[in-house]
Structure 1
Amino acid sequence: MDNKNIIITALGVGLTGGIIYYLSKFLKSEPLGFSRDQVLKMIKEYKRASLRVFVQTAEIVKRIKDQNGGKDTLKEGITIKDVVKDNIMNDLIQEREYIAKRYNISLEQFDNYYSIQYGGDKEIQEVCNQIQKTFENSLLGIPPSLEVSQQVKEKFSEDKVIEMQKKILKAQSKQFNNVFKDIKQETQQDHVDIESDLFKQKIRDLDIHQLKTDLLKKEGFEFEPESPCETFEKLSFQYKKTSKDYEIKLSQVINIYNKIKSDMLYSKVDDTYIDMIFN
């Protein structure tokens, strides 16, 4: 199996991806709908989203292995990897489906972009290889590294990260609210159909990742070699895992964010309301 098919399999596409790859040698690929930079952004989003899945998988594998006396093989020759692999594959598919839906494309199109149409792009394939390696390690009970430097921890305490989470979600809320207001004005209706093509297109046009990156940089959250978003999410994940207080506060912030989005569906929401409810 060549490198492209290995990457596709590791990302959860499996046999279907392999068939698509070989057919693409003989059949004309569908026209490109996304630029190389857009696909790179999508695959990086997937890398960040899959972090949670890989951490949980590694924990489950390690727990089963400990209960099994440190052995990888269970009864009748079944391995721990065999037991958990289907679940992790399903979780990864769900993560990719979520990203694909946000960009208003199918899962197959998403997989096609990074594995075939940009299969020769060095940077995109490097991210794919990183995902593959983390995937393989998680099935062995080895979690992805969540370590951040002491410099980052000293500069950004739990409370500081919670405040940054608030700023990010508040800014996102205002961007989403602008979309809702635009659609209500265009359709002359008080309700927004979030399944409509119009809504999906406007959400797709929002660059939430760039918004988050800019806010983090403004707060001084820029540490090489990782992107600000990746480092921030690792730090948040670490605090969530080690601090119940942080987990509770983060849950409260997310609940506020979800309430605002729910209010947008039927009620008129303005920036003043968003500022008030986040304070």
Structure 2
Amino acid sequence: MEKSKLGLIAGGAALALGGLFAYFYIKQEQPVTYKVPRQVIINVCKELKKQMFNISLQIIETRVRLLKQLDLGASLPPNLSFDDYIAEIARAYVENIKKLLCAKFEISLEDFNHAVEIDFVNDSQLYQISTEIEEIFSNSCQGIPPNMDVDQSVLNKFSKEKIYNIHTKFFKIVAKKYIKAFQELKEEGEVEMKLENPKFFKKNRELQIPETKRELLINEGLDQCPGSPRETFDKITIQYRREDPEFAQKVQEVEKTFQQLIDDLSVQPFKYNDQSPDILFKEY
């Protein structure tokens, strides 16, 4: 098996990311390279595959946005076709997700890449996972979404009201975590209350937001459905958003309320208290 066949999970990215993606960039010290156990590499790759559903949606959304910008007169970088430009942006996004996952499993990206490209280059399981990831990636760069079908029995179990309530519960839980985090940073003497602040970065990781969401989705019974709880939840949400503009508007309002809370906290950490999220995020 050639190294090039490991594609995305082995390849680097040429394009740096800013904005939202930059919030999650984890700067690591260069450790002494060592041979990472095979199972750790497999676990990172499996986790990346799980994330590909949401990554795919992000890539497609970016693709649509760039096409609109081109229609309005924007131009591509020199010597790059539209497809190549999308692929560069998308690979940079995936590279950032890889950094996050490596940090989660307490290995460096350099050691991960070394393991994939050299130590386990002929591993058949790794090759299979890589092939599946590449297929999703390639499709999303062409604007082809992942399978969005949700079984009717699942929809019957999770009504629009229930899905909306899960959204509000999640934002309520996370809002309380962020209120506490911002206030603790302020009490510790921090002046710059921004998400880019390295101390906030560290505290943000300690909040374990992805784990919080996964636990909530499992508690709500989404682990009983085919696919991962988050993927199922996202698919149901997307389907209801497409079918019902009122539902889409309500979810969007909850998201905006949460974003406003974060913006406010960065300026006035003590504007909210522990009870504020209970008032801001109302269930049906």
**TM-score surpassing 0.5?**
yes
**May I ask how many residue pairs the two structures share in their alignment?**
239
The CA distance in 2 between the partners of 1:256 and 1:99, in whole Å, is: 30
1:116 corresponds in structure 2 to: 114
Pair 1:215–1:113, CA change in 2 (3 A)? farther
In the alignment, is residue 47 of structure 1 matched against residue 49 of structure 2?
Answer: no
Q: Which residue of 2 aligns with 1:273?
A: 276
Partners of 2:176 and 2:192 in 1: CA distance: 18
Q: CA deviation at 1:220?
A: 1.5
In structure 1, C-alpha distance between the alignment counterparts of 2:198 and 2:63, rounded to whole Å: 38
The verdict on how the C-alpha distance between 1:90 and 1:54 changes in structure 2, with shifts beyond 3 A counting, is closer
Q: How does 1:11-160 map to 2 (within 5 A)?
A: 13=12, 29=33, 36=40, 39=44, 43=48, 46-53=51-58, 55-56=60-61, 83-94=82-93, 96-97=95-96, 100=99, 110=109, 112=110, 114-117=112-115, 120=120, 127-138=129-140, 142-160=144-162
Q: Deviations over 1:79-133 (max 9, x none)?
A: xxx643422431442464377479989xxx64x4654346648877655433211
- Aligned-pair RMSD on alpha carbons? 3.8
Amino acid at match of 2:57: R
CA contact (8 A) 2:182 2:266 kept: yes
TM-score by length of structure 1 reads: 0.68
CA contact (8 A) 1:55 1:144 kept: no
Flag as ranges the 4+ runs of structure 1 deviating above 6 A. Answer: 57-60, 101-105, 121-125
- Once the two structures are TM-superposed, the CA of residue 213 in structure 1 deviates from its matched residue by 1.1
Q: Which amino acid is 1:262 matched to?
A: D
| Cα distance change on mapping 1:241 and 1:93 into 2, 3 Å | farther
For structure 2, the residue ranges without an aligned partner over 5 or more in a row are 16-31, 66-80
- Cα distance in 1 between the residues matched to 2:59 and 2:267: 37
Letter matched to residue 277 of structure 1:
L
Change (3 A) 1:5 1:14: farther
Bigger mean CA offset, 113-122 vs 149-158: 113-122
Does the 8 Å CA contact 1:174/1:271 hold for their aligned counterparts? Answer: yes
Residue 138 of structure 1, CA deviation? 3.8
The SS at the match of 1:143 is coil
- Structure 1 unaligned segments of length 5 or more: list them: 17-27, 61-81
The equivalent of 1:241 in structure 2 is: 242
Q: CA deviation at 1:54?
A: 5.2
Instruction: Report the residue type matching 1:207 in the other structure.
Output: Q
SS in 1 for 2:224: coil
Corresponding residue SS for 1:248: helix
1:246 positional shift: 2.4
Deviation, 1:238, is 2.3
1:104 and 1:200 in contact (8 A); partners too: no
Q: Distance in 1 between matches of 2:197 and 2:35?
A: 23
Please tell me whether residue 256 in structure 1 is matched to residue 257 in structure 2.
yes
Letter in 1 for 2:86: N
